[in-house]
Amino acid sequence: MVHGKIEKTNAARLLDRAKIAYELVPYEVDESNLAATHVAEQLGEDISTVFKTLVLKGDRTGYFVCVVPGDHEVDLKAAARISGNKKVDLIPMKDLLSVTGYIRGGCSPIGMKKSFPTYIHSSAESLPFIYVSAGVRGLQLRVSPKELSSYVRATFAEISKTME
């Protein structure tokens, strides 16, 4: 990002190609705090609109993606039920790059190495826009959840609960 110009990410180029409206919104990265709550503070947005992209692996279906509000954690039982698995777990951080092509804090539901089944928390459905990672740390995509869902062929579902 030189001279204030925002470099388009692969995720942004894919949305361009699909003619989906979005906005690229930069924020200050804190390597010691990659939490979505920190991103929301940096953006000056309510945490309920800033979503994180988590990758899970099920015992029957393999990898799938959950996009949940920043102050939520995936409900593993609900995620297993919805994805057709008996047991699911978040993938180990060391596997994230090889599975998705993205690093922690920069994992976007758009443009992963392969197309995985995707579930977006149902709270997004009623929002005019949500923020998801643009595929690099320090850059978020502000996008319509309905258009995002349609593009990644996601299902809206109750897949998370508020962190305790």
For residue range 28-83, what is the model confidence (pLDDT) as tens digits?
998 889 899 999 999 999 999 999 999 999 999 999 999 999 999 999 999 999 99
Domains of the chain, each with CATH number or no CATH: 10-162 (3.90.960.10)
How big is the CA angle at 11 (ends 21 and 81), to the nearest 5 degrees?
Answer: 95
Q: Are 133 and 117 in contact (CB under 8 A)?
A: no
N residues, the chain: 164
Express each pLDDT in 82-98 by its tens digit.
Answer: 999 999 999 999 999 99
Percent pLDDT > 70 in the chain is 96
Does the reported pTM lie above 0.85?
Answer: yes
Express each pLDDT in 101-110 by its tens digit.
Answer: 999 999 999 9
33, 38, 54, 138, 158 from 28: Cα distances, Å: 11, 9, 21, 6, 31
